[in-house]
A and B are shown apart, each in its own frame.
Chain A
Amino acid sequence: MIVAEGKPVEKILEMIAPYKKVLIAGCRGCVTVCLTGGEKEVGILASQIRMARSKDGNALEVLEQTEERQCDAEYNAKFLENVGKVDAIVSLACGIGIQYLGEKYPLTPIYPGVNTLMLGANIDVGRWEERCFACGDCVLDKTGGICPIARCSKSLLNGPCGGSQFGKCEVSAPVKEDIPCGWQLIYDRLSALGQLDKMSEIIPAKNWLRAKGPRTYVREDLTLDRS
């Protein structure tokens, strides 16, 4: 899923300082699952904003609405009525949802209530880890199903650098947090699968053009003839 973290309330208050009436827009997709931008978080943020502004003697009205997804036009249409009533929107969807909702209502300013972090998995309660970089050219077949682009700090394609030691990535030291070496994980998995010979294969330089936007994906079999 797409993993996001809430922005500090102070930052959001700064963004909406000029406004008297705002809509907090939530999303029932990934941000609900990672407990950052669903209906519950919309309610919490709305209360925090109301209280902070009242305390400052500058009360504002906050509307709350959460829909199925903000990355889909049909759901974004459901925000129409409330958007018409407010000066600005704060979206708690991922970066995609924020932008796509903004595109739907281009005359209403929209502000991000979250930082979109990664494509990750929920590893444990309250812990998410990145697993995919959306690089556009999957190499998992060569690497035992573990992604070197997302899980090696240097996105190396031909094995661990000299900084891999005791299973840890060298970046663990400067950031003071244990980061597993992605290539040690790949090595161990390939070893368990009896496919260590794959570590000897030289993977050529990557075509990063597919990894860097703006990217578009068109499926001719699904497109409609609008002529």
Chain B
Amino acid sequence: MTEANSKPEGNLKSGSALERTYVSGQFVCTGEVGPPKEASFHHVEMYGTGMKGRVDAINLTDNQTAVTRLSSWAAAVKLVLMGLEPNLQMVCRDRNRLAMQSDLLGAYAHGVRNVLCLTGDHQAFGNHPGCKGVYDVDSIQLIGIVKKLRDEGCFECGEECKNNPKFFIGCVENPFGDPFEFRAVRLEKKIEAGADFVQTQCILDMERFELFMEKVRERGLHKRIYISPGLMPVKSPKMARYMQHGVPGMLVSEEFCQYLETASNGKIGALDLTVDYIKRCQQMEGVAGVHIMAVAWEEVVPLVVQKAGLLPRPFAAFHDNPAPISDEIKALWKKSGVDNYIPELA
């Protein structure tokens, strides 16, 4: 395990496995686990083990959709203890700069090396809609804070931070948000602020994403930041239609919905479509990897990764080979009817 004050090797900023993979030029593949609404690491352990050796890093969402969950910080440390590489998500909704920097120090001291800076869904979406949203800083300012800690060794206030945390800094951009023309500019602002990699909002409309990438390439941004589009296996056609109409900031193409609706097996279709999207992303100039965000369906990440031919991972989880698939994960596959998707894993 890495020590708190160890220096990243060579020209690396953090030395994380994720950074190494991006820097090596190999196609990056990250996964994601949503911590549970309970005081237990069971889910984090189960899904984390399933992804071990199959992804380069695992995102831990931070009270996603503004619903109180086990903290992303604690879940990230759990992954470190399991020998896995976490990507710590940090939203601006719940903490001020004082608490965020405090958590960054704690996470780094525990061996966390990647941090993903986000604004966060508004608290009105979640299970405490009347709570006070913090938004002391926005995501761009947060990126600047993490960079200042890393590169200047000082806190946002300017005070020196000894044994400063040296994170690989991630950000998010939504190619489906408006104003569309501003989205690439916003990404550029994040690069200027200090972002090293970006994971996009999930791509359920490939044409629009291609348009976004055109704007990105026009500005030469793909040469300044590693880009991983977010890809989501969507469990049911109904869910796809819901996201098409009911989730602000999302665009779901007709092609996507209809593919799921006409597939003979919707679940298998969802996995096939994700694999297809991965392959399309691999062909796209300026795309450095994919981020597989199987929200509430985390158990399928190993299937998608293997089917897409992304194994073995070069530096994943400190050179571990893919972990054996647990009976618990296999039972979940069976439950959603995808247990024979890759026969040798069944």
Complex Cα–Cα for A5 and B195 (A)? 45
- In the complex, are the beta carbons of B182 and A160 less than 8 A apart? yes
- In the complex, are the beta carbons of B177 and A175 less than 8 A apart? no
The smallest C-beta distance from B38 to any residue of chain A, in angstroms, reads 24
Question: Would A161 and B177 be within 8 Å (CB), given that A200-B185, A204-B141, A205-B136 are in contact?
Answer: yes
Residues of A close to B42: CB separation below 8 A: none
Complex Cα–Cα for A162 and B248 (A)? 9
Question: Would A166 and B178 be within 8 Å (CB), given that A159-B189, A172-B248, A174-B122 are in contact?
Answer: yes
Count how many chain B residues have C-beta atoms less than 8 Å from C-beta atoms of the other chain: 40
Chain A residues 150-169 with CB under 8 Å of chain B are: 153-169
Complex Cα–Cα for A133 and B131 (A)? 19
Question: Would A162 and B122 be within 8 Å (CB), given that A173-B246, A199-B185 are in contact?
Answer: no
- In the complex, are the beta carbons of B122 and A159 less than 8 A apart? no
User: Is A65 engaged at the interface, CB distance under 8 Å to the other chain?
Assistant: no
Question: Would A156 and B177 be within 8 Å (CB), given that A161-B119, A164-B249 are in contact?
Answer: no
The smallest C-beta distance from B137 to any residue of chain A, in angstroms, reads 5
Residues of A close to B63: CB separation below 8 A: none
User: Is B173 engaged at the interface, CB distance under 8 Å to the other chain?
Assistant: yes
Complex Cα–Cα for A188 and B133 (A)? 26
- In the complex, are the beta carbons of B189 and A200 less than 8 A apart? yes
The number of A-B residue pairs with CB atoms under 8 Å apart is: 110
Which of A157, A160, A164, A166 makes the CB contact (< 8 A) with B141? A157
Residues of A close to B176: CB separation below 8 A: 162, 165
User: Is B309 engaged at the interface, CB distance under 8 Å to the other chain?
Assistant: no
Question: Would A174 and B129 be within 8 Å (CB), given that A161-B177, A187-B179 are in contact?
Answer: yes
- In the complex, are the beta carbons of A167 and B138 less than 8 A apart? no
Chain A residues 19-78 with CB under 8 Å of chain B are: none
- In the complex, are the beta carbons of A157 and B138 less than 8 A apart? yes
Question: Would A165 and B178 be within 8 Å (CB), given that A158-B189, A174-B122, A202-B189 are in contact?
Answer: yes
Residues of B close to A163: CB separation below 8 A: 121-122, 174, 177, 248-249
Residues of B close to A170: CB separation below 8 A: 121-122, 125, 248-249
User: Is A184 engaged at the interface, CB distance under 8 Å to the other chain?
Assistant: yes
Chain B residues 22-40 with CB under 8 Å of chain A are: none
When C-beta atoms are compared, the residue in chain A nearest to B172 turns out to be A162
Complex Cα–Cα for A164 and B180 (A)? 10
Complex Cα–Cα for A136 and B97 (A)? 20
User: Is B140 engaged at the interface, CB distance under 8 Å to the other chain?
Assistant: yes
User: Is B201 engaged at the interface, CB distance under 8 Å to the other chain?
Assistant: yes
User: Is A119 engaged at the interface, CB distance under 8 Å to the other chain?
Assistant: no
User: Is A208 engaged at the interface, CB distance under 8 Å to the other chain?
Assistant: yes
Question: Would A153 and B122 be within 8 Å (CB), given that A160-B182, A187-B179, A199-B185 are in contact?
Answer: yes
User: Is B206 engaged at the interface, CB distance under 8 Å to the other chain?
Assistant: no
Interface centre among B125, B144, B173, B249 (most CB of A within 10 A): B249
- In the complex, are the beta carbons of A162 and B156 less than 8 A apart? no
- In the complex, are the beta carbons of B119 and A162 less than 8 A apart? yes
User: Is A181 engaged at the interface, CB distance under 8 Å to the other chain?
Assistant: yes
User: Is A171 engaged at the interface, CB distance under 8 Å to the other chain?
Assistant: yes
When C-beta atoms are compared, the residue in chain A nearest to B175 turns out to be A162
Residues of B close to A166: CB separation below 8 A: 178
- In the complex, are the beta carbons of A158 and B141 less than 8 A apart? yes
Residues of B close to A165: CB separation below 8 A: 176-178, 248-250
Residues of B close to A167: CB separation below 8 A: 178
Complex Cα–Cα for A191 and B159 (A)? 39
9 A-B pairs besides A160-B177, A160-B186, A199-B182 with CB distance below 8 A are: A155-B135, A160-B178, A163-B249, A170-B249, A171-B122, A172-B248, A173-B247, A174-B125, A184-B178
Q: List 9 A-B contacts (CB under 8 A).
A: A162-B249, A164-B179, A165-B178, A167-B178, A170-B121, A170-B125, A172-B248, A174-B122, A202-B189
